[in-house]
Amino acid sequence: MSTVRHVTVVENILKANDYLARELKSEWDRSGTFVVNIMSSPGAGKTSLLEATLPLIGPRGRPLVLVGDIETARDAERIEALGFETVQITTGGT
């Protein structure tokens, strides 16, 4: 016989994340910084999209690419090869 349990959620567990996101957005708005967040499954074409669009922006736009990769720095290396600054975050499988 299985037991049914009900859990009542009394607080958004991502509350701190939501707060930080609002604060960052406010700061970027104040400084006139344009931010784009591109997320999708591995192999979906995110890096290829950046390789095609960053040259159109050029260095005058001063783009910085923050690359989150599970295990390698390959995507960051591809962007750096185009002459654009990157910051690599290797997430170690998560």
Using the predicted structure, report yes or no on whether residue 91 has a pLDDT greater than 80. no
Q: Is 45 helix (H, G, I), strand (E, B) or coil?
A: coil
Helix (H) or strand (E) holding 69: strand 64-69
CA distance 91 to 48: 21
The per-residue pLDDT for 48 is 96
The per-residue pLDDT for 94 is 63
Using the predicted structure, report yes or no on whether residue 77 has a pLDDT greater than 80. yes
β-pair type (85-90, 64-69): parallel
The per-residue pLDDT for 59 is 78
Over residues 9-61, the pLDDT tens digits come to 777 778 888 999 999 999 999 999 999 999 888 889 999 999 999 999 887 88
Q: Encode 42-81: b = buried (16+ Cβ within 10 Å), e = exposed.
A: eeeeebeebbeebeeeeeeeebebebebeeeeebbebbee
Instruction: List the alpha helices (DSSP H) in 1-94.
Output: 15-31, 46-57, 74-80
The per-residue pLDDT for 60 is 83
